[in-house]
Each structure stands twice: as structure tokens, then as C-alpha cells.
Structure 1
Amino acid sequence: MRKMLLAAVALAALTLPATAQTYRFAVVPKAMNNPFFDLARDGCVKRAKELGNVECIYKGPVEHEPASQAQIIQDLIAQKVDGLAISVSDVAAATRSIKAAVDAGIPVITFDADAPGSARTAYIGTNNKDFGRALGEMLLQMRPEGGKFAMISGGPAAKNLAERVEGVREVLKGSKWEEISGSPLFCNDDIALAVQQMQDLKTANPDLAAIVPVGGWPMFAPEGFRSFASKYKKDLESGKFTLVVADTLKVQLELLKDGFANGLVGQRPFEMGEKSMDALLALKKGEKVEELIFTGLDRVTPANVGEMLK
């Protein structure tokens, strides 16, 4: 009788539904002190909670340091996370790290900044050439009379930023806009440095008619940016000086609304975080995902900034 009871218990255990597999997916930004990536983190956490069987791990270098990012990826591989979503700081370094992860059986996607020649399965984020074109188009539409302009970029080894710079140049080529020598300046995602570079550009080039940061860095230091822009408020209003800036974080929208910039072109980092979780979960289930998943752009001027803030 006892043997029959034990057999029945064993059979019941076999027929019980298996506990749902849980996954630990890591999102690795370029820098954790960049508020742009906070939104990607929030999207990741929200989607992981909705999925129920997914944990979002958000970990990256505090500042923009490609070597630190590579080490963090190696640590996550050693921890045997179930998937990686990486915003690539340095293409060469990330390509090696991605290969190590894939060799360890960990699916990898990139978001925000890509390494297309690597072993990553997919890229989720902005079409960065189109992003640059949109920045150039906004400047050209606002000030077709042209003048001298300069750009500010982040890290020189970031492919996404190089594509934005190329996009701006592509649109403005043949127009009345002329890029000054030494442009772009590279702030390496240092927001205080980005503000200082804007002032340095204006001091060295008093006739500079526009500055186009291809990332939102200077506006992420709102007090410093406001202090800089307030010196040229009348010129910003008259069209003598123009600021067209990448990204549309709330703090940037507020600065635009207050007249400290002329226009913004924004990405959708929250959506990047959400879609990264979906893509990694699909890969763990053996499903295919599209190689390029573009999340779109938002163009904001004083005419529609109120709607964006809502």
C-alpha cells in the first residue's frame, strides 16, 4: 500500500505544471551619470515587471569609460546572466566583449549605440544617420540664411554619434552653413564639460551662428546651460544665434519652453528599454527577432513644446 501511495505522489509531481523559467537580463549603458539612460532603465524595469518572469539588471560605468564598460560586461558574463543589452561606448572593445558573451551562450543585443560588425543579434534604437539629418534639417529650416556652425559630440569611438555628425553634415552640405575647423568637440559624455565647450566655442568664434550638440549633454546640466544661453537670449530670439540640440528629456523641454534653445530632436530611450526586454526574452525562447528595430524620433520647437511637456 505504501509503495502504491509513493508511486501516486511521484506521478502527481510529474504532472504538476513546471514553474515558469525566470531570466536575468542586463542593460549596460555607456554611463550611469547620463540621465538619458535613466529612461532606458525605467523602460526596462517596467517591461520586466509586466512580463513577470524577467529581472532587469541595470549596470554600467558611472562615467563614460569604455574600458570600465568592457570589464562590467565581463563580470556579467561570469555571473551567467541570461541576456545582455549594451549601449556601445567603443566599437572595437565592445565587439570583443560581445563575442565573449555569445561564446558563453548569452544572447546579446545593442541599444542606443550599435556595433554592427559584432556577434550581436539585433540593434534597438534610433536610426542615427536619420537623427543627424533631422538635426541638420531643423537648423536649415530655422535659419536658411546660414552662417558658421559647430557640433559637440560625446565619445570619438561611438559609432552612433559619428553617424549623427555625418547626418548633420550631409544635410548642410551645399547650403549656406559652414562648419568651423575643429568641429565637433568631444565631451566624452561629461555634461559639465559640454557646457564649457559651448562657451569656449562662442568665445573663440564670436561670429558663430549655431551650435548643434548631437547629444543632450549640455542641457543635462540645466543651470549651467541656462547661464550660458542667457548671455545670448536676444540673439536666440532674433535668429542671430541658434541652438538645435539632440534629445527631449523633460529638463530640455523646459529649457526650450523658457526660450533657452530653438529646437530639439528627441529619441525614445524608454521604448528602447522596453523593447530590449522583449527581444532578449524572444531570443531565450528560440524565436527570431528583427536585426534592426528603430524606435523613431520626435521633433520639438516652441510651437509644440507645450504638448510634449503634457
Structure 2
Amino acid sequence: MAQNRDDDAQDNAKENGNLISSTRRGLMQGVGLGAALSLLGGVAGGGGLISSAQAAEAAFPQHKKWKIVFVNHVTTNPFFVPTQYGIQDACSLLGMDYQWTGSATSDAGEMVRAVNSAIAAKADAIAVPIVDPNAFDKPIQAALDAGIPVFAYNADAPRGKSNPRLAYIGQDLYLSGYQMGERIASLIDSGLVALFIATPGQLNIQPRLDGASDAIKKSGKKIDIQTVATGATVNEELSKIKAFYLGHQDLKGMFAVDAGSTQGVAQVMKESNLPSKGVHGGGFDLLPQTIQLIHEGFLDFTIDQQPYVQGFYTVMEAFTFLASGGLVGPANINTGLKFVTKSTVEPYLNTSTRYEGKTTKPQIVPMSGAIKS
């Protein structure tokens, strides 16, 4: 019976594959669009729309429901809500399962224990932000030795340092910080500028701070940089930013390299109406208050690093690696950098999607207007 089921599954997959191949050939050979759509009728539902499950079934034979364990450094931080939606959507598409675990307070030891637990539980793949330059070398190698592929997401090993992870999926952190520093230097000619960072030294945000500092120094402007540690929770970050401003009311700029601190900067900028005093502010990520206060003119910019795809692409890479038996080698993916300003913030305000973490509802968002790079 089991053999018969396996044969049936292989036959079905072969039929679906032949169907899609014949459709592609038809399109290449000039078959009309209506005929091509009718060829897809066996895979598509009513109206010619193909569900994600049908598409995945047509593309791949039956497989084990592989489980990928995502270890995180701030498991409850709102920044990672869209990341988790990206994970869920990719797992649903590809017939995989996942676990979300790690530390709520950026404790590298806690994260290492979570990686070791995933190895002991025989996870099929592991994803982890490498937020410490050394702590993850041995556990990642142990996972690879056990035949478990490991991917870094959101944070990677420092430049020039070898780590055995297979690929990194996330923003080029130093470059994003450098470009923020260039933007700061274009806004401010001289004076005190505060750079806020939640957890100094952690590799998901420290490279941004380093990049921003380097760009400001390279500008040659007489800008006095002060780095301020704010903490791992949003409330703590806001409190530290308020306290710093009250003690340095002559400052010319407040900028942050993490989501929570950026929201805190935006709140303090509004509470004290700092733009009217010539103070500039900016930072990273798309927390709702940050977006709203950019719209209201209290923050000059924020930088979108697209957290949804940090989850989605990581699952895709793990699936491709597992499905190919390791023949398809993983590749680094830069999830990008987008400056969001008052002139470009409207689409973020006018839509509520899983892609930005604002709603649980799956949806396809229609394109509107010209595409901006």
C-alpha cells in the first residue's frame, strides 16, 4: 500500500510537471493566451487562480514536512512580527514547519542553548542571528556536523571573520549605517549629535553605528558624536532617550540604529517639538509610531530593512537546500535599504499588511502608481 501511494504521488507530480512544461512550451511556440490558461485548468481553481499549495505541489514531489528552528535575540520585539509572518507564509507555501525561540533580552548564552536544543531535537534546519562575534562558532559547526544546515538572518559574523553558517539573509548592516551617516552629515553642519543603540557590541546593530560614525567623520564636519546605550526593551529605550535630551538640550540631532530606539527618538522629538528648534532625527525600521511621526514631520527619515523577507527568504533557502540534497548551495541575500521620508511615507500609512506586520490577514496588495527605487 505504501509503495502504491508513493508511486501515485510520483505519477501526480510527474503529471503536474508535464502540464506546466507543456504550458510553457505552448507559450513559447505562440499558443494563444486563452489556450495557455486552459492548459493550466488542471492546476488552477476557478478563475484561473493558482493557490500556493497547488503551485508548490505542481513544482515539487511529496516530501517530509521539514522543520526549521528560528533562534532569535529579542523574541518579543515588534520588529520581528513581519519576520514571523514571512516565516509562516513561506512554510505554508512549501509544506514546512517552524519554531520561534531564543532570548527576549539579547542573551547570547540563551540563544546558544536554543541552538543546541534544536540540534538535540534533530531539527531539519536552523536559522540564527549571529549577534556575538564568537559565541555561535562552535554550536553552528556542531549543527553542520550533525547534517543540519544553518543560516544567519538579520545579523552576521563581522567582516573578515569566518563563521561556518551557510549563508546570510539580511541587510548589509555597515553599509546601511554608513549611508545613514552620510544623510546625517547632509542635514547637520556642526554641533552635538546623539547616536542611540539598544545593545552596544551586538552584531545586528553595532555595524550600523560604526558605519554612521565613519561617514560622519569622513564628512569633515565639526559634528560631536555621542553614543548612548538605551537597552533591549522599548520602554527602557524611551526613558534613556528622554533623559539624554533633558541633559543635552543644545544638541543638533538624535538618530538611532535600532527599531525601538528610533521610535523613542520620534516620541521625544514630538514631545519637545524639536524640529521647530532646528533639531533633526532619524533611524531604522517601520514601527507604527515611527511611520506616523515621519508623516507628521517630527522625524526626517527611517530606513526600511524589510524584515518580512528576512524570514521568507531564509525558509526558501533552507527548503531549496534540503530539497536538492545540498546540491543547490545557499547564497547571501541582501534584503535591501530604503529611506522612508515624509514624501514617501504615504503607502506605509495607507495599507495594513502582513508584509509590514500591521495585520494578520494574508492579502495581495495592488500596485498603485509609478514604481520608486
- Which bracket does the TM-score occupy, shorter chain normalised? 0.7 to 0.9
The answer for the alignment partner of 1:113 in structure 2 is 155
Deviations 1:24-48 (A, max 9, x none): 0112221112111111111010111
Gaps of at least 5 residues in structure 2 are 11-61, 351-373
Q: How many aligned positions are there?
A: 293
Higher relative contact order (CA 8 A, sep 6+): 1
Q: Which of 152-161 and 36-45 deviates more?
A: 152-161
Cα separation, 2, equivalents of 1:39 and 1:269: 6
The answer for the alignment partner of 2:9 in structure 1 is 17
Q: 1:280 to 1:149 in 2, by over 3 A?
A: same
Q: How does 1:162-177 map to 2 (within 5 A)?
A: 162-173=206-217, 174-177=219-222
Q: Pairwise CA RMSD of aligned residues?
A: 2.3
The answer for the alignment partner of 1:204 in structure 2 is 247
**1:13 Cα deviation from its structure 2 partner:** 6.2
The answer for the alignment partner of 1:60 in structure 2 is 102
Secondary structure at 2:212 match in 1: helix
Deviations 1:182-205 (A, max 9, x none): x32223422222212212222332
Aligned AA (1:133): Y
Check the 8 A contact 1:211/1:243 in 2, yes or no.
Answer: yes
Matched, 1:103 2:145: yes
Matched, 1:85 2:130: no
Deviations 1:121-154 (A, max 9, x none): 00000011121022112222333x2321121113
Of the candidates 228, 234, 242, which is equivalent to residue 185 of structure 1? 228
Runs of 4+ in 1 over 4 A off after TM superposition: 9-14
What's the TM-score once normalised by structure 2's chain length?
Answer: 0.72
The answer for the alignment partner of 1:292 in structure 2 is 332
**1:220 Cα deviation from its structure 2 partner:** 4.9
Matched, 1:236 2:268: no
Aligned AA (1:129): Y
Of the candidates 302, 314, 327, which is equivalent to residue 276 of structure 1? 314
Gaps of at least 5 residues in structure 1 are 1-8
Q: 1:11 to 1:90 in 2, by over 3 A?
A: closer
Matched, 1:131 2:147: no
Cα separation, 2, equivalents of 1:296 and 1:147: 31
Cα separation, 2, equivalents of 1:67 and 1:291: 27
Q: How does 1:3-14 map to 2 (within 5 A)?
A: 12=4
Cα separation, 1, equivalents of 2:263 and 2:279: 20
Cα separation, 2, equivalents of 1:175 and 1:190: 34
**1:177 Cα deviation from its structure 2 partner:** 4.5
**1:11 Cα deviation from its structure 2 partner:** 7.1
What's the TM-score once normalised by structure 1's chain length?
Answer: 0.86
